Structure 1
C-alpha cells in the first residue's frame, strides 16, 4: 500500500464515519510519518507494508493477552476488529495454485534438489513476493518437493 492509497483510505473512513478504521489508518500514517522524519526520506510501499505487518503482530499479541485474561470482552472484540482492518490494508497473500506455480518455477531456476537448498528457495520466494505469501504452506510444499 502506498502513502497515497493510505491517505485515500483515511478519507474513505472519514466519509463513512468509521471511527475504528480511521483510528487504525491514522496510526499507520503516524508510523510512516515517523519513519520519514527519522530517516529523512520518503516511505516506500515496502516500508508501509512492513509497518502494517508490525502493527498486526503487536495488535495480535495484545489480542492474545486479552483473550487469556478474559475479563473485557468489548476490548477483545475491538482488537479483533483492528487486526482484520490492518490485514485488509495489506495486498492479498499469494497462496494456493499461484504459490505452487511460483515454488516450482523458483526450484527450477535455482536448480534446488535437496533439503539443504530449502533456505535458498524460501529466500528467493520471499524476495520475489516481498514476503507476502503463506510461509507455512510454502515451507510444506518446498519440503515435499526437495528430497
Structure 2
C-alpha cells in the first residue's frame, strides 16, 4: 500500500465514521511517520507493507492471548476485526500455480540441485516477492523439486 493511499483510506474511514478502521489506520500512519522522522527519508510502499505485516503479527498475538484468557469477548471481537482490517490492506500473497511457476524459475536462476540449496532458493523467493508468498507451500514445493 502506498503512503498516499494510506492517507486516503484514513479520510474514507473518517467520512464513513468507522472508528475501529480509523484507529487502526492511524496507528499504521503513526508508525510509518516514525520511520520517516527517525530515518530522515521518504516513505516507500515497502515501509507501509512492512508496518502492516508487523501490526498484523502483533494484533494476532494479542488476539490469541485474549482467546486463551476467554474473559473479555468484546475485546476479542474488536481484535478479530482489527486483524481482518489490517489483512485487507496487505499485498496479495502469491500462491497456487503462480507460486509453482515462480519456484521453478527461481530454482533455475539459482542453479539449485540438492536440498542443501533450499535456503538459497527460499532467500531468492523472498527477495523477488518481498516476502509476499505462502512460505509453507513454497518450502514444500522446493523440497519436492530438489534431490
Where on the TM-score scale, by shorter chain, does this alignment land: which range? Answer: over 0.9
Partners of 1:14 and 1:86 lie apart in 2 by 17
RMSD over aligned Cα atoms = 0.8
1:52-63 maps to which residues of 2 (within 5 A)?
52-63=52-63
User: Which residue does the alignment assign to 1:87?
Assistant: 87
Shift of residue 7, structure 1, vs aligned partner: 0.7
User: Which residue does the alignment assign to 1:114?
Assistant: 114
User: Which residue does the alignment assign to 1:9?
Assistant: 9
Partners of 1:20 and 1:110 lie apart in 2 by 45
User: Which residue does the alignment assign to 2:31?
Assistant: 31
Partners of 1:139 and 1:16 lie apart in 2 by 42
Shift of residue 47, structure 1, vs aligned partner: 1.0
Runs of at least 5 residues in structure 2 that lack an aligned partner in the other structure: none
Partners of 1:15 and 1:96 lie apart in 2 by 38
Shift of residue 95, structure 1, vs aligned partner: 0.6
Partners of 2:71 and 2:111 lie apart in 1 by 54
Shift of residue 99, structure 1, vs aligned partner: 0.6
Partners of 2:112 and 2:54 lie apart in 1 by 32
Off by >6 Å, runs of 4+ in structure 1: none
Partners of 1:15 and 1:71 lie apart in 2 by 33
Q: Deviations over 1:62-119 (max 9, x none)?
A: 0010000000111111101101111111111111110111001111111111000100
Shift of residue 15, structure 1, vs aligned partner: 1.6
